[in-house]
Amino acid sequence: MQVYTGKTCDGPERNLGARVVFDLTEGLPRDHTVTCDNFFTSYELAQRILAERGLALVGTVRKNKPELPPALLATKTRRVLSSAFAFTPIATLVSYLARRNRNVLLLSTLHADARLNDRADRKPALILDYNRNKGGVDNLDKVIGTYSCRRMTARWPLAVFHNILDVSSYNAFVIWREVHPDWMPGKRNKRRVFLERLGKALVRPLIERRVTLPCTEASAAVVRAAREEALCGTPPNDGLDPDALGPRAPVGIDGQR
């Protein structure tokens, strides 16, 4: 990830979107396809990332891009649900008229033909491929919103940190399910149980180190239960071993990670 912190002292950065895509795809194996929205997509980026990285690019294009031919921008004389294509040696451009006077522009270095689907909307295959792959970020935001550690804050570094925790915990859950496909079969609350046990595993070393009990009875009961589990070696009752989640993070002298 890259955090956008606003304009620098030198003024606004030119070609910011292309630079970000090029940075974030560093190390990606060749013959992969990158899907972008219209903030990032440009013909210059598509050329460069294909030539230097061997990566195809599929993305929507803003109508103010200078490389777009006028024929793709014209909409008044076209029928609704019609498509207009333009081709270069490396790229395909399509203008799909979804509604009257409302067209959608896409660019692809993965597609090299003008294939349309057989449905009533007659969408090009290029648009269908884009729709299948465009929602990665949106889907991730949706799933982490279900169980999130975020809190109201005016400090942007803290907001970024909360997002890192949410994304990391969801990635850990995905990996855990792949490694242990038979864990909690038939249950629909797997992720909630996993996050609960993950949180306990992260705070358990701090609880065990605590010298005095908390003031409130509920918190003191949590500390006593954790100490009893550590002494007796009783496993969690949900079948998820906290030690199986990986090595515990080192604890500093002041008891904070």
Question: What pLDDT score was predicted for residue 242?
Answer: 47
Nearest to 126 by CA among 141, 104, 154: 104
In whole angstroms, what is the distance from residue 172 CA to residue 65 CA?
A: 40
The pLDDT of residue 10: 74
pLDDT in tens, 154-192: 998 999 999 999 999 999 999 999 999 999 998 889 999
pLDDT (tens digit per residue) in 104-141: 999 999 999 999 998 889 999 999 999 998 888 888 98
Residue 15, classified by CB atoms within 10 Å of its CB into exposed (0-12), middle (13-18) or buried (19+), is exposed
- Regions of the chain short of the pLDDT cut 70: 233-257
Residue 157 dihedral angles phi and psi, to the nearest 5°: -60, -35
- pLDDT at site 204: 86
Distance CA 48, CA 172 (A): 34
pLDDT attached to residue 129: 93
In the chain, % helix, strand, coil (3-state, to 5) comes to 40, 15, 45
What does the pLDDT read at residue 237?
52
Model-level pTM greater than 0.95? no
